[in-house]
A and B are shown apart, each in its own frame.
Chain A
Amino acid sequence: MAVQITTAEAVKKIVDQSSVMIGGFLGAAVPLKMIDEIAAAGVKNLTVISIGAGYRGGGVDVGKLVLNHQIIKYVTSHVGTDPNLIKQIVGEEVELELSPMGTFVERVRAGGAGLGAVVTPVGMGTEVEAMAQKITVDGKPYLLFKPIRADVAVIKAYRADPLGNLQYQGMSNTNPIMATAADIVIAEVDEIVEIGEIACEQVGTPGIFVDYIVQGHRYEERKTIYEEMWIATNKL
């Protein structure tokens, strides 16, 4: 069951030192309006949990929180797209917690699914061994990683109904996984529709996981924002 609130109300759930999961993938399918609200709210010392940094070049989407120096710790698998973030990590302003991408995703999934750890062979024989605990299962060596959870997850979906059921379009990427792994889950959507308009087989994230729904940019607005960004960076 979810409650529809404004982005201004939703951002109050995030305070100084909150851990915040942000859905999306290097700028794609990110909750743009909520990120703008977090940037405007100026909350500090955030732990941001996101599969990668923002869109290449930095300064947009999650990169706005970097420019504002709002982040104290970044939990991720990749920061290569944001030079500002790299600078803050090298300058020891931001603590970096890395894991391989597939491991990162499973750690979030484990956090949401009530599991105690992720056990994976990925990273054996590399520096990643030092980031985890080594264990042996049936004679084979594995790395054990702890689950990841957050105080608040801010995710992006296409449509929501008043029960909090979410429908995705295109690549849902990290959004449905993060929807399970935070104390408070805020879903930013293009459209809010009546109960029943999202057929049960179209539900990507059942409403049981979602606490708040906020109206984001409508689809056509979002399309314009992305086309302009892609044209400006010579990708379209």
Chain B
Amino acid sequence: MPRNYIARRIAKEFKDGMYVNLGIGIPTESANYIPEGTRVFLQTENGGLMFGPKPKRGESNPDIANAGAEPITMLPGGAVFDVATSFAMIRGGHIDMTVVGALEVDETGSIASWKIPGKLLTGMGGAMDLLYGCKRVVVAMTHTDKHGNPKIRKKCTLPLTAAGVVDMIITDKAVFRVAKDGLYLEELAPGITVAEIEQLTEGTILNIIEWEHIEIT
């Protein structure tokens, strides 16, 4: 349930006419829930704009793939291009929104998603370019790690992918806006209490008193 909830909630951020790059995993799944009547242009950093669902067997094209080298289709009106052009779109500020996963996010909008010293070595891929260049950065992740530790921190403890870039955090438990002065709780997922969010969030929630007030009344 939580995974599907996050993907559906991400989809509410799609606005008509947006150019969007979705990270692998839950962000990519959110494309299944784009609201009817909303046209979203999906970009893939290996060089495609306006791609569609995966093809049927027998209809794939070995040269039409997403950034994970998985088969996709191109929609009518779509375009393919080289990776320098792709990153001109990304770094040059032409993409309206990116949705990415994260290991940690902090109250200053910094994000850690590419490295755990001594444990995880993958390289940053296109993540740093996307986080720097896209106009709006949405992080989608579980609220806590598999041990139940908060992933929304006062300050990221892991190596950063980018500093001070995150605009919104969507988890399985809540939605936060990340403003210049810090974190604001915007929504609670169904069945989640303010007390739970306070306990499972290390970063300071600037409007928590208002939420507590709402809950009491």
Contacts and interface: CB of A to CB of B under 8 A. Distances in A.
Contact of B125 (A56, A77, A120): A77
B6 to A, nearest CB: 22
A71 to B, nearest CB: 15
A127 interface: yes
A126 interface: yes
B22 to A, nearest CB: 16
Interface in B71-113: 71, 80-84, 87, 90-91, 110
B70 A235 contact: yes
Contacts of B209: none
A45 interface: no
A102 B124 CA distance: 11
Q: Size class of A's contact patch? A: 35 or more
Interface in B39-96: 45-48, 54-55, 57-58, 60-65, 67-71, 80-84, 87, 90-91
Interface stretch (A9-17, A144-152, A226-234): A226-234
Contacts, number: 161
Contact of A109 (B45, B84, B122, B164): B84
Contacts of B80: 170-172
Given A122-B91, A170-B80, A230-B60, A100 B129 contact: yes
A79 interface: yes
Interface in A105-154: 105-106, 109, 120-128
Contacts of A127: 115, 159-160
Contacts of A78: 122-125
Given A101-B129, A121-B132, A127-B159, A173 B46 contact: yes
Nearest to B125: A78
Given A26-B69, A125-B164, A227-B58, A101 B82 contact: no
A98 interface: yes
B188 interface: no
B86 to A, nearest CB: 8
Interface string A208-236: 00000000000100110111001100011
A76 interface: yes
B128 A171 contact: no
Which secondary structure dominates where chain B touches chain A? Answer: loop
A5 interface: no
A103 interface: yes
A126 B113 CA distance: 12
Contact of A125 (B82, B84, B91, B163): B163
Contacts of B47: 25, 171-173
A193 interface: no
A131 B127 CA distance: 17
A119 B27 CA distance: 30
Contacts of A173: 46-47, 82-83
B91 to A, nearest CB: 5
A81 B67 CA distance: 11
A25 B68 CA distance: 8
B139 to A, nearest CB: 16
Contacts of B128: 100-102, 122-123, 126, 128
Given A77-B123, A126-B128, A235-B70, A170 B159 contact: no
B162 interface: yes
B129 A56 contact: no
Interface in A5-55: 25-29, 51-52, 55
17 contacts: A52-B125, A77-B125, A100-B125, A102-B87, A102-B126, A103-B129, A106-B87, A122-B91, A122-B132, A122-B133, A124-B132, A126-B162, A127-B160, A171-B64, A175-B82, A176-B82, A226-B60
Given A123-B128, A126-B163, A172-B81, 5 more contacts: A158-B63, A169-B61, A171-B65, A177-B84, A231-B57
- Per CB-CB distance, the 4 closest pairs between chain A and chain B, nearest first, are A170-B63, A80-B122, A125-B163, A102-B87
